[in-house]
Amino acid sequence: MNKFALKKLEGYMPFPGPVVCVVMDGVGIGRRDESDGVYLAHTPVLDRLFVERLFTRLKAHGTAVGMPSDADMGNSEVGHNTLGAGRVFPQGAKLVADAIADGSLFAGKGWKTIMVHGKKGGAVHLIGLISDGNVHSHIDHLHAMLDQCAKEGVARVRVHALVDGRDVGEKSALQYIEPLEARLKTLSTDGRDYRIASGGGRMITTMDRYNADWSIVERGWKAHVLGVGRRYPSASDAIKAMYAEDPRMTDQYMESFVVEENGKPVGTIEDGDAVAFINFRGDRAIELSLAFEQEAFAHFDRVRRPKVFYAGMMQYDGDLKVPANFLVPPPTIRATLGEYLCASGVTAFAISETQKFGHVTYFWNGNKSGYIDPKLEKYVEVPSDRVPFDQRPWMKAAEITDETIAAVRGGKHKFIRLNYPNGDMVGHTGIPAAIRISVEAVDLGLSRLLPAIEAARGIAVILADHGNADLMFTDAKGKREPMVAHTLNPVPFIVKDYSGANRFRLTDLDRSVPPGLSNVAATLCTLLGFRAPEEFDASLLALE
């Protein structure tokens, strides 16, 4: 018998339809005021679901999803990791912070090899997101690495600064870049030369994901490696100039730039150098890693591929071993819900559009690429539009709904999971009208999907992975500022049972420890008629 095969739940009655898990990405529970895009949107379906008998709120940030503290927002990566794992694993931010604190990052093979190149005269290049958003990176990690470079005698360091404006304030780049420039100047003594060499906004420079738009990576390659881009005397000069050119522009969409001196780039990447991608989150770090590591590469013309030692902050894809070298081992997420269900013969269907496809597959399955069992599973990716999300806030909700309805009616898959990306991707734009439409598009999708589940005599599970659309702006000292980051709000969890086979009740969990996303996997086991694995956090439901 397969060790992952689940035991049947006593007293459970089978039913013909599927269990359909709907992740409304970025749709949290806000303050129900004019700042709350979920509350303001016209959502007749969600309004009814929020008063269902099987409704509760889940914690989706901080320690509940493996982040260092409850001051840290959740995100789609750690949210789907936790949903699929059924318990909490320490995540990237905490792993890196701990590795810096105990010195293990600097004692590891990856860092030591970077130091060898730096001490031999090669430059050390640090590429990454420059903010304290703590979703993809944290600037404290960069400062610790700069200090260590100086301590170990590295003469030349170049920072390639991707500005954020998404997990932090939309025009906050100078709050991070100016102090960083001052710090680099302070470190540039005793023969050291530490500078920012290039940069650009994260949504158009370097940080593409899921092969959505390789021109983003190409733009970063040109700036970081080749020194091709708009040139300025410093990064802060670049940011100020681009703000002045277009006051509406936000950091995440800032054009790539190159810092020059005497008419030449100050920090192209050359043979003999060492390069570290300092982001700990994997989805937007994989493609640049492939550009550095792959011999056969067809996504864009690299012009030249310097012979460097390349390492990621973490190994961003454990199955594909990308990158080959890394500074901090990633969390080992084992025995996921997907593994248990496949071992138990449960057929599964997963779908989203490109922007979140990896979340219902790769992240849900514990940072593992591909199928667990292709005989039992089917994954469908709907190609995303390549336009700013506020221009088409409905995104591909209709197409995702179409495919999911077909899967429900087809009757081949007992467990179906889907992600509507709208609330998150459009929430990051900070544009209220678009955010409200994005939530309404999800509600419209549910208005079509739920009747299909009812007709099939199935069960719908509706939840979110974190908040975003639920807080569109903040008011500080009388000034309204767009809120483009995730929130610390709880998220909804609703079960709508159309099967007519069993009666479920919410369990009496210890409410002094609020239930979180880690309780969902065991709950799905209950709805599918299985006893949850012992290592999973408790189910939110029980049979009456």
Cα 290 to Cα 77, 309, 324, 372, 414: the distances in Å are 20, 13, 10, 24, 36
In whole angstroms, give the CA distance from residue 407 to residue 155. 59
- Let me know: does 523 contact 539? Beta carbons within 8 Å: yes
Q: How many CA atoms lie within 13 A of 129 on its CB side?
A: 28
CA-wise closest residue to 243 among 231, 255, 234: 255
Rg (CA), the chain: 24
Which residue, chain included where needed, has tokens 């050119």?
Answer: 245
In whole angstroms, give the CA distance from residue 276 to residue 253. 23
In whole angstroms, give the CA distance from residue 143 to residue 80. 30
In whole angstroms, give the CA distance from residue 503 to residue 26. 30
Give the active site residue among 35, 69, 76, 499: 76
Question: Coil, strand, or helix at residue 200?
Answer: strand
- Let me know: does 141 contact 97? Beta carbons within 8 Å: yes
Which ranges in 28-154 belong to alpha helices (H)?
37-40, 44-49, 76-85, 92-101, 104-107, 109-119, 139-151
- Let me know: does 518 contact 64? Beta carbons within 8 Å: yes
Respond yes or no: is residue 76 known to be catalytic: yes
What tokens were used for 227?
């020194």
- Let me know: does 143 contact 157? Beta carbons within 8 Å: no
Distance, first Cα to last Cα, the chain: 30
Question: Coil, strand, or helix at residue 110?
Answer: helix
CA-wise closest residue to 20 among 448, 489, 370, 537: 448
Peptide bond into 323 cis (omega under 30): yes
What tokens were used for 108?
């590891």
CA 299 to chain centre: 23
What tokens were used for 132?
């304290």
- Let me know: does 46 contact 509? Beta carbons within 8 Å: no
Residues involved in catalysis: 76
